[in-house]
Amino acid sequence: MTWADFAAGEVKYWWIITQLWPTDMQEFTPSLSVRQPVDRAWSQKKYLFHCCFKFTLLLCVGLFVLCCALSSGSETWWERFAIREHYNKIFHQTNSVYNPPPYRVHPKHSVKPSETTEATEPPTALPTVAPTGTQYHEAYPRNYHFIMNNIEVCKNNTPFLVLMVPVAPNNVAARDAIRQTWGKESLVQGKVVYTLFMLGLPRGADVEQQQEKLKQENLQHRDLIQSDFVDSYLNLTIKTMVIMDWLATHCLTAAYAMKIDSDMFLNIDNLVIMLQKPGIPKANYLTGMLMWNRPVVRSKNSKWYVSEELYPDPQYPTYTLGMGYVFSNDLPEKFVMASKSIKPFNIEDAYIGMCMRKLGLQVTSPPDPSQFKAYNRVYNRCEYSKIITYILGTSEELVKYWTDLKKPGPPC
């Protein structure tokens, strides 16, 4: 090979190389051409990661705000969730589903009542057999008459607060437990407080014996009021309205009253303190644990069943839960008058809500809604020193918890 041939070959080789090799090295270099799609894939993954992170962060913030909002209400967020879970079960239901009440039910309250009541004229003598039938007494309380009374209670003194306790005639244990605990306090925070028990007629084969025992009990304690309606679960609305009638007739001088069930723990000191706070209304005032937008239970298997005939609307007006609600003492007379034109049904607390609506009045939230509570899970002395109401399971619990709360030393 001559030098001319070698030179010609080299020129040809370099010409081929220069044709194949682009001037922009980034487009030809293998490492750069592979890196570009990798960078794009990484950028997409990075973008998705940032989106997921932001969404998770916003979700956490939202949950935190929700928990804070719930904890500022009448219960802690966990308690509120638990109670709301029961309310959803009770009210948001079909006509064929059984639903529990708007709070956790103690076993002693879970039995569906089987008794019915009958519309009759007020009896002149005590019946020996409970009435039967499907009709209801009118809820207007002045259809009934007091056969045991203590009208001197509010004549001798002017009470600040009267506690009215509906209780079964044979439930002496509940009355005695209350007399040993919050019912024995007649002077609370410098204010006069009275406790009275409302009863209907006893039932059963030994009616006369039961009635005689009630008379002896009243002679000893002077705190029983009895009217001539049959004492039964389905007559609780009548019982409540008779309470209102007694207050309107025999205790007009009281500033406030409270209807409170016989299975309740009541921190009476906290209640009187609440009622003396600035801004608490002295008229047209009803407060307690408020119930909003509660559908009517239409399941016939439920203890809280109300037929469309008795209450045609699908939803109750706002009302206070019947375990214990407080009201200014101008309201009982107004409730009595309103009941003349309101068809009775057997959910007594919702019936009071109907009376409020009829009167054009609004139920008021308490200053601290967390003080009105339903069932507690575990007794805690510090907790009980802060609340106003709790539902208990037995009379023994009431005496035990009250004794512990009142022992010397700070509760918290």
Residue 19 lies in a domain: no
If one counts the domains in the chain, the total is 1
Considering only CA atoms, which of 236, 226, 238 is closest in space to residue 126? 226
Owning domain of residue 256: 107-118+130-405
- Give, as one character, the DSSP assignment of residue 112: P
User: Contact 183/398 with Cβ under 8 angstroms?
Assistant: no
CATH number of the domain at 358, please.
3.90.550.10
Q: What is the length of the chain?
A: 412
Q: How confident is the model over 11-49, as pLDDT tens digits?
A: 444 444 444 444 444 443 444 444 455 455 556 666 676
Residue 330 lies in a domain: yes
283/215 Cα distance (integer angstroms): 35
Residue 253 lies in a domain: yes
Residue 45 lies in a domain: no
51/74 Cα distance (integer angstroms): 37
Q: In the structure encoding, which two tokens stand for residue 131, read together?
A: 């009435």
Considering only CA atoms, which of 348, 147, 391 is closest in space to residue 244? 348
Residue 51 lies in a domain: no
H-run or E-run covering 326: strand 324-328
Considering only CA atoms, which of 258, 267, 264, 46 is closest in space to residue 175? 264
User: Contact 280/367 with Cβ under 8 angstroms?
Assistant: yes
Q: In the structure encoding, which two tokens stand for residue 2, read together?
A: 């001559």
Residue 303 lies in a domain: yes
Q: In the structure encoding, which two tokens stand for residue 277, read together?
A: 């706070």
Q: How confident is the model over 143-162, as pLDDT tens digits?
A: 788 999 999 999 888 999 99
User: Contact 358/339 with Cβ under 8 angstroms?
Assistant: no
Residue 7 lies in a domain: no
Residue 221 lies in a domain: yes
64/277 Cα distance (integer angstroms): 32
Per-residue pLDDT of the chain (412 residues; tens, 9 = 90+): 544 454 444 444 444 444 444 444 444 344 444 445 545 555 666 667 677 777 777 777 777 766 655 544 434 443 444 444 433 433 333 333 334 344 444 444 444 444 433 333 333 333 333 334 333 345 666 778 899 999 999 988 899 999 999 999 999 999 999 999 999 989 999 999 999 999 999 988 889 999 999 999 999 999 999 999 889 888 899 999 999 999 999 999 999 999 999 999 999 999 999 999 999 999 999 999 999 999 999 999 998 899 999 899 999 999 999 999 999 999 999 999 999 888 888 899 999 999 999 999 999 999 999 999 988 889 999 999 999 999 999 999 999 999 999 999 999 9
User: Contact 330/284 with Cβ under 8 angstroms?
Assistant: yes
CB neighbour list of residue 161: distance below 8 Å, 6 or more residues apart: 188, 191, 192, 193, 194, 254, 255, 256, 257, 258, 271, 272, 275
Considering only CA atoms, which of 392, 387, 388, 396 is closest in space to residue 375? 392
